[in-house]
Every structure is written in structure tokens, then in C-alpha cells.
Amino acid sequence: MTTLGTPTTGETPAIRETPDALGTPGTLTGPITGPITGAEQALQAACDHLIGLRSAEGWWKGELQTNVTMDAEDLLLREFVGIRTEEDTAEAARWIRSEQRADGTWANFHGGPADLSTTIEAYAALRLAGDPPDAEHMRAAARQVRDLGGIEASRVFTRIWLALFGEWEWRDLPVMPPEMIYLPSWFPFNVYDWACWARQTIVPLTVVTAYRPVRPLPFRLPELRTGLRPERARRGGWEAAFGALDKVLHRYERRPARGLRRAAVRRAVEWIVARQEADGSWGGIQPPWVYSVIALHLAGYHHDHPVMRKAIGGLDRFTIRDEKGRRLEACQSPVWDTALAVNALLDAGTPADHPAVTGAADWLLREEITRAGDWAVRRPALAPGGWAFEFDNDGYPDTDDTAEVVLALRRLDRTGIRPAVERGVRWMTGMASRDGGFAAFDADNDRALITKLPFCDFGAVIDPPSADVTAHVVEALAKERPHSLALRRGVVWLLRAQERDGSWFGRWGANHVYGTGAVVPALVAAGVRPWHSSVRRAVAWLEHHQNDDGGWGEDLRSYRDPSWIGRGASTPSQTAWALLALLAAGERSQAVERGVRWLVGNQRPDGTWDEPYFTGTGFPGDFYINYHLYRLVFPISALGRYLRRDGTPAGPEAP
């Protein structure tokens, strides 16, 4: 536990741990007399199911489900570079059709509203698969597209895909010239001002837009047009200035400096090739992968070039085939899932020498990052360390995964663990931003001016500190560096980031339930007392937002519409997040009891839970994820901590 005293001049402000009107020591809530009947059996069944999902190599990986743009763009990519097969097309089309809703549209998450651009891309892919435009499901989709504003109202990325096939004019797209690759790292709008996922997407797109290729499809898409340009809101300030800059860049695009343009494209291509991962991907995620393939293809890289062979072949690893068809994961999360699984099993009381735990630890040790990546541009003196999200993403470790791996490994006694944990903690600590918070991939990647560019109409493009990531790092530092300045500054950052209603915003999970579920355990681990006003306010917020059925849920629409904050159908993962916060706060309340009863009562016979709702976040407001292992690992942690808070044995025995 860290000592949180009075600061001297120039230090961060003190954290006051005095009771207030929301609660006093010893009178937090009414007691629970004992464990809920069936909780032990539910936990045992869940642990058995989780252990049964472990791979032979020691890792866990649940499906990372997103939306059908992954599959539509995969078919369009294969069409563009000339590698599309009838088999892949038919299987992907079957999956895309299965996700169409009754009104003819496609959404970006289960139960969400229709998404115009997703529907356009899905429709184009089905036309590519041979679905006739007069088929009922296609007529319904086209009608909805027109009602939502047509191609003219779609996002920039969708119009780039359409431009590749002659369905949109390149001159009507915002300009991102490849010459930006020459901007130094201190200059505004250089590639390192973008978040890691964005810079790996933007650089290949600058190459693509420099070539402005057009390869017409065997059909046109007039049925998706309204003939009207959407009305643009009157812009002022920086948006107006950047609109004027875009006009200047358009004039330059008509007559670029030829020598400079050729050199810039060459430099950008070299930048792309240098960042290809061992599995053939870029960043282990779909957007930079597909655009990098197109950029290299346009730059003259043939299908049999080693870089292209690895890139195209690597997509198979991200492909899932089942009775519904063929679909792609936008990313894969084995390191994250494995760390969460180990922590869950240990929370449940699984012995540290259980083969599932030790095998996972050995695998995680082999996944440690040992070389510098783009993060070193902002932290050149920092030695490498930590862990990434994916199997082979050695260029982009992140503080979130590193924190969870540290929390898992430090609980074990295995050869090589302490040095790896020390390196990870050192790297993670060195990635603190200037304000004391932690972002996922970079430090001080918070130049919001870049978000005003006309190109940036979809997805997060910077990586500023967030409450959930900072909380995970704080929790790890509380265990490993309990007296460090980095911990103290992280705690102060979290206290300042609390919302007025008592919750915390969740950047990488949905949403305030996720943020609050991460922050409260971190604050308590760092020495903030359960009766501190911030903790009491968070508890009150969680109790107020508990559903009538005893669970918790928050719809992803809360990122755009505040009326959805804390509201949504109960889900296993979100119920577990709320319970983890309440348990960390010392709650022995009816809210806890009802939440545990919800988990026990909604468990499937095989030990897991159903969770069709998406509770993970890629880009707040735009792109969401259903982590298929969340429905299992977080309930295990919650049930385990619930049953073991008084020393009650729980969890499977070692064989």
C-alpha cells in the first residue's frame, strides 16, 4: 500500500481519505450472511470450461468478433489485387447475409442502429458475390442506403473503397499527400502524431491516393445514390482552416512536384515494409493490413514477392470458417486473453502450480517484447520490454497488456518471471504521459488538432491517456512499485478523471461500467480507502445503475448518446466488472448478492455464459468488439473474489 501524504511544492496534490456523506468506515452497507447457494458450483463449472479451452501451446484466444466490413473489405481487396476465388466469395457472402437485419441494413454491433457505410460495403460485397440487385434482401438494403443519405453521405474510408472501383471520384476525397512522411517528429501532423493504428493506416493510404487507381467492377451502383450532396454543417475555427488547407492540397495534387512525389512514395513504401509483422500483418489489425497490401501492390510488389506472400497468406490465420460461412477477425487477442485467464483462475483459487497456469506463464514469458518500436520516437532512452496484444505484434507492445501480464506473472514462482516482470514494469512506467496518465501504445500522443482534418470522420486517430488503461497500470504498479512517483501521479490522474456522476469513462470497453469496474479496484490497491469520497460515489453510481434483474449492462450507444450511460441489457462481462468494483470497495450489500445471483442463474450448463452483446471497444462511437472470452474470464474473477473474500475455498484442485 502506498503512503499518500502531503506534497511539497511542485508535487502532485494530496489524496484525501476522509469519510463523507456517502459513507463512513464500518457502515458501508448491510452484511451478507454467507456465499450464495450454487456460486461454488458455478465457479467450478466455469473454471473447468475455461481450462478446457486452453491451447496445447498454453495460450487462450477467444474469437474477436466485429462487423461485416471486415469480410466485405476482404472480398474487395481480393478483387482489386486479383486473388479473389469463388469459394472464398461464396463463404463470405453467406456470413454477410446471415448478419443482415430484417430492415435490410447491417449494424456495427448486436442490437445497434443501422450503419450506412457498413450497409454500403456489405451490399457491394454481395453484388460481387453475384446477388442480383432486384433480390428482396438487396432491394431492402438499397432502399435503406438511400433513406440514410446514400453513398454521398458515407464515411471517407467507404468512399476510398468506392473510388478504387470507379464508384467515387478521387478528386472528391480529402487529400493526404505521401510527402507527409518527411515531416519531422516535432512538426504538427507528422506520422507519429497519429495513434499507432492510425499511422499504419494513413501511410499506406497516402501511397494509394497518390496513384489514384480505378479498376471498375463488373457492375455499377446507381441504386445506392441519392444524387444529393449531404449538407455540411457550417465550420469555423480549425475545421474551417483545415478545409481551406484541403483545397490547397487538392490544387497541389493536380501538379505535384514529380521528383518529390516519387521520393515520398518510395520512402512511404519502405516505411510500410519495415513494419510488417512476422505473421504478415501490420500491427496485427485489419485496416493497415488491407491498405498496406493495396499500396505495395500499386508500388509494383507482385503476388509472389516474399512480403506479399506473407501478407496474403497471413490472412488465413485470422479467418474463421463454420456453418455460417467465412469471416475475418479484425484482430486477435491471445496475450490479453491468456493474461486475463490466468488472473481469473488464480482469483478462483486455482493453485499456482496447476498445469494450465504454469503452461500459460511459460508461453507469456516467450511473448515478451525485446526490441524497440515506434513508441521509442517519444521515449528514445527507454529500454524495450512489456507485451503486445497479438501473437506476433513485436513492434507495438502496449501498457494495458503489459499491466495484465505483470499482474498475472507476479503471482507465480517460475524461472525467468522476475526479470521479465521487472523489464515490463520499467517499460510500462516509462510510458507515462506528461500528465501522469497512461495511454495504450504511445506516450503523449494527444495532439487533438489532428482530429479536425477533413480525412478524420471515422474512428479514434490519437491515443491519449484513458481511465481504464491508467487503472490497469496503477493496479500493477501498486503491487510492484507501491512507493513510486509514477503510481502517485497515476492515482491523482484517475481521481481527476472521475465523471461528475461518480463513474469513469471506458475507452477500450463498454463503457462507464467498464471504466468504473477498472478504476475502483486500482484505487483501492493503490491505498485509497474504501470510504474515500471517489470510491463512495462510484459505488453509488453502480448501485443506481443495477438492472432490475440484478445484472449490469451498458449499451454501446452511450458513446454518442449520454442517455444510454449505464443503461443496457445485463451481460456477464459487465455484471462482473461492476461486481469487481463493489467487492474491491468492501461492499457486502444486496447489490453484490443480486449481481452474483444473476451470474449463477444465467450460467449455461457447460459452465460459460451467453453474451451476444458487444462489450469491447475499438473506436468509441464507431467500432466495437465482442471478445468471446470476456463472458467467461471476468465472471470467474468476480465469483472467485466474492467467494474468497472471507477465505472461502474456491476453484479447481490441481490434478
Q: Which residue has the higher pLDDT, 22 or 264?
A: 264
| Cβ-Cβ contacts under 8 Å for 380 (sequence gap 6 or more) | none
Residue 12 has pLDDT above 50, yes or no: no
Which of the residue ranges 10-24, 328-342, 615-629 would you say has the lowest mean pLDDT?
A: 10-24
Res 9: pLDDT = 31
| Cβ-Cβ contacts under 8 Å for 622 (sequence gap 6 or more) | 108, 458, 459, 460
Q: Are strands 623-627 and 616-619 parallel, antiparallel or unpaired?
A: antiparallel
Distance CA 90, CA 128 (A): 10
Q: Which residues pair with 322 in a beta bridge?
A: 325
Res 231: pLDDT = 64
Distance CA 75, CA 288 (A): 16
Res 13: pLDDT = 34
- Helix 116-128 × helix 136-147 angle, to 10°: 150
Nearest CA to 203 out of 283, 118, 277 is that of 283
Q: Which residue has the higher pLDDT, 631 or 35?
A: 631
Average the pLDDT over 208-214 and give the result: 96
Residue 341 has pLDDT above 50, yes or no: yes
- Which residue ranges does the chain devote to CATH 1.50.10.20? 65-222+234-328, 498-655
Letter string b/e over residues 258-269, b meaning 16 or more CB atoms within 10 A of that residue's CB: eeebeebbeebb
DSSP characters for 318-335?
GEEEETTEEEE-S---HH
Q: Which residues pair with 574 in a beta bridge?
A: none
Average the pLDDT over 6-23 and give the result: 32
488 within 8 A of 2, measured Cβ to Cβ: yes
Residue 36 has pLDDT above 90, yes or no: no
Express each pLDDT in 536-584 by its tens digit: 999 999 999 999 999 999 999 999 999 999 999 999 999 999 999 999 9
Task: Classify 498-655 by CATH class.
Answer: mainly alpha
Nearest CA to 35 out of 652, 653, 651, 640 is that of 640
Residue 175 has pLDDT above 50, yes or no: yes
Res 236: pLDDT = 65
Q: Which residue has the cell 510488417?
A: 276
Distance CA 465, CA 463 (A): 7
Nearest CA to 566 out of 603, 515, 609 is that of 515
**172: burial class by Cβ within 10 Å (0-12, 13-18, 19+)?**
exposed
Supply the residues annotated as catalytic: 400
Res 205: pLDDT = 96
Nearest CA to 161 out of 206, 214, 108 is that of 214
Distance CA 438, CA 441 (A): 9
- Domain 65-222+234-328: CATH architecture, name and number where available: Alpha/alpha barrel (1.50)
Express each pLDDT in 496-506 by its tens digit: 999 999 999 99
Neighbours of 400 (CB within 10 A): 28
Residue 118 has pLDDT above 80, yes or no: yes
Q: Are strands 319-322 and 623-627 parallel, antiparallel or unpaired?
A: unpaired
Res 235: pLDDT = 61
Which of the residue ranges 35-39, 109-113, 542-546, 551-555 would you say has the lowest mean pLDDT?
A: 35-39
Res 34: pLDDT = 59
Q: What percent of the chain has pLDDT over 70?
A: 92
Q: DSSP 3-state assignment of 36?
A: coil
Res 238: pLDDT = 67
Distance CA 274, CA 191 (A): 15
Mean pLDDT (the chain, rounded)? 91
Res 648: pLDDT = 45
Query: Vertex 345, ends 605 and 427: CA angle to 5°?
Result: 140
Neighbours of 476 (CB within 10 A): 27
Q: How far is CA 554 from CA 9, 114, 419, 548, 601, in A?
A: 42, 18, 40, 14, 20
Q: How far is CA 130 from CA 217, 319, 421, in A?
A: 12, 22, 53
Average the pLDDT over 302-325 and give the result: 95
Nearest CA to 477 out of 432, 531, 444 is that of 432
Average the pLDDT over 9-27 and give the result: 32
DSSP class of 562: G
133 within 8 A of 139, measured Cβ to Cβ: yes
459 within 8 A of 198, measured Cβ to Cβ: yes
Express each pLDDT in 267-285 by its tens digit: 999 999 999 999 999 999 9
Average the pLDDT over 576-599 and give the result: 97
Residue 230 has pLDDT above 90, yes or no: no
2 within 8 A of 563, measured Cβ to Cβ: no
The whole-model pTM stands at 0.91
